[in-house]
A and B are shown apart, each in its own frame.
Chain A
Amino acid sequence: MAKKERVLVLGNQACVEGAIYAGMRFYAGYPITPSTEVAEGCARELPKIGGRFIQMEDEIGSIAAVIGASVAGLKSMTATSGPGYSLMVENIGYAYMTETPCVIVNVQRGGPSTGLPTKVSQSDTMQAQWGPHGDYTAITVAPSTILETVTETIRAFNLAERFRTPVTVLLDEVMGHSRQIISLPEPGEIEIFNRVKPTVSPEEYLPFEITENYVTPMPAYGEGYRYVITGLTHDQKGFTTNKPEEIAPKLHKLRHKIIDYKDEITKLRAEMMDDAEIAFISYGSVSRAALQATDIARKVGVKVGCLQLQTIWPFPDKEIAEICGGCRKVIVGELNMGQIVNYVRSALPGDIEVVPLQRYDGEILTPMQLIEKLEEVL
């Protein structure tokens, strides 16, 4: 087999590569640091493959256009950073309610408000689950390397299509703005999931049917299935409803179509966890510092392991409990004031001590800071 080409890829460009590999053919966005290279990459690449790029008037319009393109049949994406994500949450909520597949990339910077445009942060982790108002269950993936940014973006599209839901890819400034020599996946190497189309006649079709496995086929506009898509709570036909016996099943579906299939969604990377007495739990760019710290500490005989959450939402509590079951203590490293640490705490039995390690000064946690914390808890 021919050796794969090695290319230097910027994190934000890796996201574009993954999206196009997954079949993304529509991008709408608004410039914002540190995500702008995603938009620039799409503006450059999409016309080459007959796709469409549009710079909208703001982030609200961007996610609206993305949802519009998705119901018209194209896999679609937008990318932004905290302030833009805040503007998008209204229509991300609409995507949850209307069960419209789409991918939203958040290259996180420091907040709140305008915050730190060029500095790293992971303080939008909770927002990825709880951004829009109302009840729903979010899917959020978080790569930690440039190659993973390609593969996790592909996975985000597969999950969005499989579960008919918006999926957030959480990157951060370090991820988006670092480059790495990688080999991109070859065509056919990674499986691509496309939304299920209806097989029944338009007369029989229920656009928001609650099926046993919660898979509801989705036609594109123009394919003969004329139905109502509305952000108002609706019945299985798509008609607005105020009936308690129709409202509860709809909301039940939005939650259970995700949590009942968590095994298909959850993904973690466990390194040196087999005999670990202490574990670093982290996600995104912090996992790279944690892996480095693990590697360094193992060399001097410390039984430490590293657990990276590639799926953050729905929170992989069961898997964390399984993998960390043999640990005395876990150190949860985050670039915020503690957004997943309490989820980890509630996932683990009381005899495993959960130690937070938080940095929120615009800089990434360093391997030495992780080792210092390790030393404290040894």
Chain B
Amino acid sequence: MANKLLDKVEIPQDRYEMRFSGSGGQGMILATVMLAEAIGATDDRNVVQSQSYGPEARGGASKSDVVISANEIFYPKAMQLDFLLVMTQESMDKYYSDLKEGGILVVDTTLVTDIPTDNYYGLPFTRLAREEAGHIMVANVIALAAIAEITGIISKDALTAAVLKRAPKGTEEKNKKAIEIGFAEAAKLKKQKGS
């Protein structure tokens, strides 16, 4: 009798649930907004983005969920993650258990060292931003581009347009470079993993 209903029910498979998590100031919310806008501008999929954060603008835990579906999206938050991006150790420890079996985990290896699985995509987004793209601020865009390459959720053109729409004036070149780096590094990684 106990949990009969709960055993039977299934979380709807028509929802693709993503979470971007890190700390305030890493641009997790903005990255999901750009992703949602890119999808909205490209096709008819429904997209809902929601976020949760502490009272501080910088430094506190920050997460942003994106739910994508061909059908009407009722519940706006993730129920069982198909995808998780973690940019800090804190968010790794907090959200890894929300990732479903077979879900995709992407990790910023600059800041996250303790990873409870071998099955993940690790790239040093923060270091790449600082050393290759010229500014730490674009780490989220590098991550976003890498995610697009890894998941195929959005095309490079659509993503570039969405990023440039939101990028502050004068940062267009840095952002374009960040997108290139993200796609290239993720492609390399995929190849390695494939072999």
Q: Which A residues lie at the B interface, using CB under 8 A?
A: 6-8, 33, 117-118, 146, 174, 177-181, 285, 288-289, 291-292, 295-297, 299-300, 302, 364, 366-368, 371-372, 374-375, 378
Contact = CB atoms under 8 A, between A and B. Distances in A.
Interface stretch (B32-40, B118-126, B128-136, B176-184): B32-40
Contact of A300 (B9, B11, B45, B46): B9
A297 B12 CA distance: 11
B3 interface: yes
Interface of B: 3-6, 8-12, 33, 36-37, 39-41, 44-55, 73-77, 79
15 contacts: A174-B76, A177-B51, A179-B49, A181-B39, A181-B40, A289-B74, A297-B5, A300-B5, A300-B8, A368-B79, A371-B5, A371-B9, A375-B3, A375-B5, A378-B5
B94 to A, nearest CB: 14
Given A288-B74, A378-B5, A181 B47 contact: yes
A26 B194 CA distance: 59
Nearest to A181: B40
Q: Which 6 A-B pairs have the closest CB atoms?
A: A178-B50, A292-B75, A292-B74, A181-B40, A291-B74, A375-B5
Among B46, B47, B48, B76, chain A packs the most CB atoms within 10 A around the CB of B76
A296 B47 contact: no
A367 B40 CA distance: 26
Given A292-B75, A364-B77, A180 B47 contact: yes
A296 B75 CA distance: 11
A179 B36 contact: yes
Nearest to A295: B74
Given A285-B76, A296-B10, A117 B55 contact: yes
Consensus secondary structure, chain B interface = mixed
A7 B40 contact: yes
Contact of B9 (A6, A117, A178, A297): A297
Nearest to B50: A178
A263 B36 CA distance: 39
Nearest to B52: A118
A358 to B, nearest CB: 18
Contacts of A288: 74-76
Given A288-B75, A295-B12, A8 B51 contact: no
Contact of B75 (A7, A33, A300, A367): A367
A286 B44 CA distance: 26
A144 to B, nearest CB: 9
B9 A296 contact: yes
Contacts of B79: 292, 366-368
A285 B41 CA distance: 26
A50 to B, nearest CB: 27
A42 B50 CA distance: 22
Contact of A33 (B46, B47, B55, B76): B55
A44 B124 CA distance: 38
A12 to B, nearest CB: 12
Given A118-B54, A181-B36, A291-B74, A8 B9 contact: no
A296 B36 contact: no
B5 to A, nearest CB: 4
A143 to B, nearest CB: 13
A174 B40 contact: no
